[in-house]
């Protein structure tokens, strides 16, 4: 089971690294939330921030809170 978690985490890291240059990303959280916005990601800490200017919201997150990333 640990291998699956590691593979999922690595896949999410790769997606987040690629999404840093995207205009807009969609983050799917493990708790069911789905949020859109621009992404800032720090791969060394495994954390990021999603910023949605239209909704005047920003959210800090950790990679382990995510289920999927799309851009």
In this predicted model, what pLDDT tens digit does every residue of 7-59 receive, in sequence order? 888 999 999 999 988 999 999 999 999 999 999 999 999 999 999 999 999 99
Better-predicted residue by pLDDT, 6 or 49? 49
Q: Return the beta strands (E) in the chain as ranges.
A: 25-29, 34-42, 47-52, 57-62, 66-70
Query: Greatest CA separation found in the chain?
Result: 40
For the chain, the helix, strand and coil percentages under 3-state DSSP, each to the nearest 5: 30, 45, 25
Q: What is the pLDDT of residue 6?
A: 66
CA distance 58 to 56: 7
Domains of the chain: 2-70 (2.30.30.100)
Confidence of residue 5 (pLDDT cuts 50, 70, 90): low
Say which DSSP state 24 is in: -
Q: Average pLDDT of 60-65?
A: 97
Q: What would the two tokens of residue 35 be?
A: 């949020």
Query: What is the pTM for the complete model shown?
Result: 0.87
């Amino acid at each position: 089971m640990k291998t699956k978690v590691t593979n999922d985490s690595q896949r999410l890291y790769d997606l987040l690294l690629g999404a840093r240059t995207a205009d807009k990303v969609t983050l799917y959280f493990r708790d069911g939330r789905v949020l859109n916005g621009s992404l800032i990601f720090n791969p060394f800490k495994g954390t990021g921030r999603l910023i949605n200017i239209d909704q005047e919201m920003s959210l800090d997150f950790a990679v382990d809170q995510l289920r999927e990333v799309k851009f």
